[in-house]
Amino acid sequence: MGIVAGLDSSSESTRIVVCDTDTGAVIKQGYAPHPAGGSGDVDPQAWLMSLGEAAEGGLLEGVQAIGVSAQQHGLLPLDAGGVLVRPALVGNDKRAQSAAADLTEALGGRTAWAQAVGSVPTASQPVAKLRWLTRNEPDAAHRVAELMQPHDWLVWQLLGRPVRRTTDRGTASGSGYWSAASGSWRPDLVQLALGHQVRLPEVIGPADAAGHTPEGLLISAGTGETMAAAFGLGVGTGDAVISLGASGSVFSVHHEALADPTGTILSYADATGMHLPVVHTLNAVRALRGTAELLGTDLEGLSALATKSTPGSYGLVLLPYLEGERTPHLPHTAGTLTGLRRESMKPEHLARAAFEGMLCGLADALDVLRGRGVQVRRVFLLGPAADLQAVRAIAPAVLGAQVVVVEPADYAALGAARQAAWALGVSHGTHSPHEPPRWPAAVGQVFEPGEDLPVGQSVRQQYMAVREQIHPGAFESGSGDQEAADHGHGAAGEYEAGGYEGGGYEGGYEAGGYDGP
């Protein structure tokens, strides 16, 4: 039929892929970093400059449609004339930690928020940024007349700043004032955070067009990076994605929104009309890095050491809660190493305990989804740490599923391009609005648990026994409201200790924020 483009404007760069509409084959691609200063206050014009640079050399020549993926949780507050009242506040800005805690308490606790919008406020979310703005910059807050997020704003700019403002379900679901369960905005929560009502974008369907550029180029609905990456990977029912960054995330496509009164599951929407429940852990690769530093090696060296040990690490168990933990809800705890005996006090056993502890912690997060009826038959592992031999050897049996370690690719940009092809096909009458184009799924190496499954489950049981001994009832204790105890420590803010939670996918292949301590 033709060619389409997908652009992903992450927190650090713009990546563009140009694809064949029928096969999804990448024909050409472009890249440009964002100017320095990608956190805190950001001039969004920098995103447009980066986009222009990435598209140089006639990259978009012949393209019929563009899809936009962008960093999540940013806030662009505009006045009545569509002009920013201040620079954009981006997702990894931590200034709104206490504001998030105040908002949580103001609505009646974690359960109230989880029931309202499927998530509990964190510093990264726009709803918390609104409360921060009201408290710290009241004059600017008073002038706010409409709200956008980065993806919304980029689409609006590409279309020539039309009267109509649009967003999609995925981006809206990360705002803190849109419910994936009801499919509607919650203007009362904007009022709670900002003190007055504002204009919010029209939420359009996954296969809808946001409009056409002045040159006639179709712009699809667009979405957030996590949703675009899932679409680009080809994630479907029965699949889960585990992002191995400094912190970790687990998400899956599901047929319904999961109302979780504990707030452990973030109930987001995906890019296809379904739902994307997400569970975060604060500790993943940071536990490996810490252990590697302790042993005087790097991640590759740690992996090599771990392969010299045996399942169960000679009884060593590491609870990797180095930054506290979100899943289970243990914000103020620390990591624990148990099982020290003379025969277990060797570098290779500690190395393996670090890998087993990290993967068991992620398996706990995966079990939260399984416990709510999410079927998991296959797990995609993202992030450079997925290439470590120890991860590949241990993960299938511990996670209890087939594991796919995907090849590096710009999956968010690919997802945006696939969405553009979908909207283009619908506009031409060649595609159903209910069935996206059948592009090939991500290519990767497949690892089966096989005969090691019982061994992996024994490792899990050893880990869970220690977790229950050290933190009895940890997964049950999160069910009650704990704001009274946590307020003053940053009840929402403690989740930010492990780094920016962008919904599970941050900028290209470096999913989950791999760099960090």
DSSP letters, 246-281, are: SSEEEEE-BSS----TTS-EEEEE-SSSSEEEEEEE
Tell me, yes or no, whether 414 lies in a domain.
no
Tell me, yes or no, whether 428 lies in a domain.
no
The pLDDT tens digits of the residues spanning 272-320 come to: 999 999 999 999 999 999 999 999 999 999 999 999 999 999 999 999 9
Q: Provide the number of structural domains found in the chain.
A: 2
- pLDDT value at position 93? 87
Looking at the fold, whether 228 and 245 belong to one and the same domain comes out as no
Segment 1-13 shows an average pLDDT of: 93
Tell me, yes or no, whether 147 lies in a domain.
yes
Q: Please state, for a pLDDT cut of 90, what percent of the chain lies above it.
A: 87
Looking at the fold, whether 34 and 140 belong to one and the same domain comes out as yes
How is residue 106 written in tokens? 């103001």
The pLDDT tens digits of the residues spanning 370-410 come to: 999 999 999 999 999 999 999 999 999 999 999 999 999 99
Tell me, yes or no, whether 134 lies in a domain.
yes
Instruction: Identify the CATH number of the domain in which residue 195 sits.
Output: 3.30.420.40
Q: What is the sign of the dihedral through the CA atoms of 480, 486, 490 and 495?
A: negative
Looking at the fold, whether 146 and 252 belong to one and the same domain comes out as no
Euclidean distance between CA atoms 53 and 93, whole angstroms: 26
| pLDDT of 33 higher than 60 | yes
Looking at the fold, whether 223 and 244 belong to one and the same domain comes out as no
- pLDDT value at position 273? 95
Segment 454-461 shows an average pLDDT of: 98
Going by C-alpha positions, the residue among 384, 365, 395 that lies closest to residue 244 is 384
- pLDDT value at position 37? 57
Angular region, 387: left φ>0, alpha ψ -120 to 50, beta rest: alpha
Residue 113 has phi, psi (to 5 degrees) of: -70, -45
Looking at the fold, whether 284 and 390 belong to one and the same domain comes out as yes
| pLDDT of 483 higher than 60 | no
- pLDDT value at position 34? 92
- pLDDT value at position 509? 40
Three-state SS for 159-217 is CCCCCCCEEEHHHHHCCCCEECCCCEECHHHHHHHHCCCCECCEEECCCCEEEECCCCC
| pLDDT of 209 higher than 80 | yes
- pLDDT value at position 260? 87
Domain that holds residue 394: 239-409+445-470
Q: Please state, for a pLDDT cut of 70, what percent of the chain lies above it.
A: 91
Tell me, yes or no, whether 477 lies in a domain.
no
Looking at the fold, whether 356 and 253 belong to one and the same domain comes out as yes
Residue 259 pLDDT level (bands cut at 50, 70, 90): confident
* Dihedral angle of Cα 120, 485, 497, 116, to the nearest 10 degrees: 0
Segment 220-242 shows an average pLDDT of: 96
- pLDDT value at position 263? 84
Tell me, yes or no, whether 483 lies in a domain.
no
Residue 91 pLDDT level (bands cut at 50, 70, 90): confident
| pLDDT of 491 higher than 90 | no
Going by C-alpha positions, the residue among 21, 70, 442, 507 that lies closest to residue 233 is 442
Tell me, yes or no, whether 481 lies in a domain.
no
Looking at the fold, whether 214 and 243 belong to one and the same domain comes out as no
Euclidean distance between CA atoms 129 and 81, whole angstroms: 21
Tell me, yes or no, whether 429 lies in a domain.
no
Q: What is the sign of the dihedral through the CA atoms of 113, 115, 116 and 122?
A: positive
Looking at the fold, whether 251 and 369 belong to one and the same domain comes out as yes
Euclidean distance between CA atoms 215 and 348, whole angstroms: 61
Residue 488 pLDDT level (bands cut at 50, 70, 90): very low
The pLDDT tens digits of the residues spanning 94-147 come to: 899 999 999 999 999 999 999 999 999 999 999 999 999 999 999 999 999 999
- pLDDT value at position 476? 80
Per DSSP bridges, beta strands 3-9 and 65-70 are parallel
Looking at the fold, whether 153 and 299 belong to one and the same domain comes out as no
Q: Look at residues 198, 233, 268 and tell me which one is the last residue of a structural domain.
A: 233
| pLDDT of 214 higher than 50 | yes
> Given the structure tokens 């060797």, which residue do they identify?
346
Q: Look at residues 470, 487, 512 and tell me which one is the last residue of a structural domain.
A: 470
Helix (H) or strand (E) holding 391: helix 389-399
Distances in whole angstroms, Cα of residue 485 to Cα of each of 46, 191, 194, 241, 482: 41, 26, 26, 33, 5
| pLDDT of 177 higher than 60 | yes
Looking at the fold, whether 198 and 291 belong to one and the same domain comes out as no
Q: Look at residues 233, 266, 291 and tell me which one is the last residue of a structural domain.
A: 233
Looking at the fold, whether 117 and 219 belong to one and the same domain comes out as yes
Looking at the fold, whether 207 and 338 belong to one and the same domain comes out as no
- pLDDT value at position 261? 84
